[in-house]
Each structure stands twice: as C-alpha cells, then as structure tokens.
Amino acid sequence: MDVKAAVAFEANQPLKLETVQLDPPQAGEVLVEIKATGVCHTDAYTLSGKDPEGLFPSILGHEGAGVVAEVGKGVKSLKPGDHVIPLYTPECRECKFCLSQKTNLCQAIRSTQGKGVMPDGTSRFSLNGERLHHFMGTSTFANYTVLPEIALAKIREDAPFDKVCYIGCGVTTGIGAVLFTAKVEAGANVVVFGLGGIGLNVIQGAKMVGADKIIGVDINPQKRPLAEQFGMTDFVNPHEIKGDIVNYLVELTDGGADYSFECIGNINVMRQALECCHKGWGVCTIIGVAGAGEEISTRPVQLVTGRVWKGSAFGGARGRTDVPKIVDWYMDGKINIDPLITHTLPIDQINDAFNLMHEGSSIRTVLTY
Ligand code: NAD
Ligand code: AHE
Ligand code: ZN
C-alpha cells in the first residue's frame, strides 16, 4: 500500500515527505495506522549522524499511538480496531531477559531492530523500489507502519492519541526511571539535570513518590515555570552560579543528592550527576544518550565511597504490561501530560518540530496525521 512518510535520506538534512510503499504484515506482525507521534530528542540524535546504529535512508519516529489495521498470520493478542502504542522496547515474555524479571530489555528482536529491519531480516518500506530502513522497530513518522506483535501495547480506546503517544517514550522514560529503575522513596532529595521532555517527567515521578527537595538543573531559564508546575522545588542555572556546580549541589542538598538523573546526553554532566550524589548511598541514573565514541569518566573513589552509577532505558518499564497502566494513570488524572505537549502540528510540518526542539522553545511537539 502507499503510505505518507517523512523520510530521513541522510544525516543532518531535513526530512522529506514522500509517498512510500509498505508491504503487508508477515507472520507475527501487525499493520498499525499511526494517528499521532511525538518527536523525541533521540530522533534528532539519530538524524544528526551521531548514533552508531543510525541508518539512512530511514523512517524515524518512536513515540506513537494508533489503531491496528490488519494482523499477520499467528497474531493472537491483537485484532483490527485495537488501540495501541508501539514499543521500541518490546516484551516477548519468553526470552532470558524477560524471564529474569531483572530487566525490561527484552532481546527477542534487538539485533534486527538495530539493523533497521524486521525480525525476518527484511524491510517492509520501500521508495520506488529502493528499500528504506525501519527505526527502533517503530518508524512512527509514517501514517502506517508494521511492527512485531510483541512490540505493541494494547491500550484503552477512550485515550486521546495526540496525548498518550508521549507515553510511547518520554512520559514512561521519565516517570519509570524514578519508579522502576532508581526506586526513589518518599523524603528523598533528587537532582534532575536537563528539564526537557524527559527531565520534566522525572520531576513528575519524583513528586508522585513524595520526594522532598526536587532540584532542577538547566542552562535554559525558560524551562523553569513548567518544571515548578510539575514539582521542582529549586532551580539551578549552571551559568548563573559562582564556583563549581557539584559543590553547589552538595551544599544545597546537605551532603549530596540521594538520587540524581541525567536527562541530557552530555558526558560531562553525567560526571557531575554522579559526583553530586551523597557519599555512601547516592544513586545516579543515566537516561541521556551520548554520541558514538563518547565515554564517561570519574575517579574510582567516587564509587568506592558508595555512589552508584546506573542507567535506564524506557524507564525500566515492561511495555505490554506497564504502558496500559500508565495510560490509565493519565486518564484517571494521576499524572499530567497536556502542559508538556507545547505544540501540535500536522505531519507536513515535521521539520518545524525539530527546529522548535533545537531552539529550546518546545517540550514536546506532537505531529498528527
Ligand atoms: P530535550 O532536548 O527536550 O531536553 C534536554 C534539556 O537539557 C533541555 O532543556 C536543555 O536546555 C538541557 N541542557 C542541554 N545542555 C545542558 C547542560 N549542559 N546543562 C544543563 N542542561 C542542559 O531532550 P529530551 O527529549 O528530554 O531527551 C533528553 C535525553 O534523553 C536525550 O539524550 C535523549 O536521547 C535521551 N532519551 C533517553 C531515553 C532512554 O530510554 N534512556 C529515552 C528518551 C530520551
Ligand atoms: N542506538 C544508540 C543507543 C540509543 C539508546 O540508548 N536508546 C535507548 C532509547 S532512547 C529513546 O528515546 C534504549 O532503549 N536503549 C536500549 C538499547 O538496547 O539500545 C547507540 O548508542 O547505539
Ligand atoms: Zn525517545
């Protein structure tokens, strides 16, 4: 079938809207009509050429919501008409990783996902006979896409696509990192580096669990009002303080953060996020994604003296199990999403969404089809 897609032909070039061809779903696969998709910093990161797994030409996008249009042979858990959120972290419930109950990093299809193809090693997308790569197994910058059944969370039908698409990445990543990865407890002091689409959801999660101080750090002061609305108690602009940011934060938290989160993808900030943690127990969770070849460093004594560095992908959430619950939290008013979606645009204006992100004037732009 012909579908409308924003194609990334090469790194650092605007996306081009094209009519591309999509093959039908194969066994175990599902055709989904995408109704809305958010634009996450990770889409911009891959488009920038810094992602070692970045492939061109490809159809980016991994924060979508839509409706099942057709199912391939053997698909049991979904039927046409079901409302779904695509999962870049699938949940097969059968692999060693899923069965371990120690991680959400299902590996059932990870290797083909990283190569931009479906589990059988081929792509469903093409343009005038030339194959296009899938991205993160989701490719939500197309009005129809094909995904494996294990990479779809079935959600309730009264949830608005143009809001809950954000649960496909940013909301779950931020709130999940607090709840599932760091397991922040009531009364904790929390420092959040980067107050964008992810960091504001970390703040929301920290407020939910009853954290005491929630300190937000960002070089863009425009992020302050929304962060305060979501529960930030103190704002720190690294450009405005005198002296070293780590010492400043350790003093502000009376000895260091119980929990810190890096939501930027900057390796220097990742070090600050570890070193501002409390001696003996402070836990730093890395969420930001850094470019190919970049490495983090610290003095080993930071770890010897009890600070912990950990990381979180998709907030540690098990997609098919947790995403429908997070949609319920939104529908029941337990979490807030609407103010974080600062812009809603038609898919034709997708390049404006990237520009708004780079200018720092959006939190999330949602594109509708
Ligand atoms: P964003 O662009 O919306 O937000 C980034 C924020 O960091 C901005 O507010 C910016 O002003 C701030 N910032 C930039 N440099 C800074 C510095 N030196 N000090 C303090 N603040 C600084 O991005 P986002 O969508 O929130 O994504 C954040 C990061 O998380 C990206 O690296 C993205 O790829 C990554 N990410 C990871 C996961 C995961 O599962 N681990 C999921 C989603 C996104
Ligand atoms: N392709 C990159 C890794 C990018 C990365 O870390 N992705 C996150 C999700 S970001 C969503 O906005 C993730 O889920 N990682 C787990 C995984 O298996 O990659 C690289 O460096 O190769
Ligand atoms: Zn994302």
pLDDT digits (tens, 9 = 90+) for 211-269: 999 999 999 999 999 999 999 999 999 999 999 999 999 999 999 999 999 999 999 99
- Ligand 2 atom nearest the C-alpha of 289 is 6
Residue type, 154: K
- Ligand 2 atom nearest the C-alpha of 114 is 1
Q: Give percent of the chain above pLDDT 70.
A: 100
Q: Give percent of the chain above pLDDT 90.
A: 100
Give dist(CA 21, CA 3) in Å, integer.
Answer: 6
- Ligand 1 atom nearest the C-alpha of 89 is 40
The whole-number average pLDDT for the span 176-203 is 98
CATH class, range 2-168+337-368: alpha beta
Q: What does pTM read for this prediction? A: 0.98
DSSP notation for 51-109? -TT--SSB----EEEEEEEEE-TT--S--TT-EEEE-SS---S-SHHHHHTS-S---TT
Residue type, 333: G
> Residue 119's pLDDT is what?
98
DSSP assignment letter at 8: B
Q: Any catalytic annotation for residue 40? A: yes
- Interface ipTM: 0.99
Phi, psi (5° rounding) for residue 107? -110, 10
Q: For residues 224 and 249, is the Cβ–Cβ distance under 8 A?
A: no
The average confidence (pLDDT) of the chain is 98
Q: How many CB atoms lie within 10 A of CB 74?
A: 10
Instruction: Please determine, looking at this structure, whether the domain spanning 174-312 carries the CATH number 3.40.50.970.
Output: no
- Confidence band, pLDDT 50/70/90 cuts, at residue 279: very high
> Residue 323's pLDDT is what?
98
- Confidence band, pLDDT 50/70/90 cuts, at residue 314: very high
Give dist(CA 235, CA 362) in Å, integer.
Answer: 19
The whole-number average pLDDT for the span 110-139 is 98
Which position among 133, 271, 278, 364 bears the catalytic label?
Answer: 364
Pocket probe mutation, ligand 1, options 42, 322, 363, max atoms within 8 Å of Cβ:
42
Pocket of ligand 1 (CB under 6 A): 40-42, 45, 169-170, 173, 193-199, 217-220, 223, 238, 263-266, 269, 287-289, 312-314, 357, 360
Residue type, 55: L
Whether omega before 52 lies within 30 degrees of 0, making that bond cis, reads: no
Within the chain, all domains assigned CATH 3.40.50.720 are found at 174-312
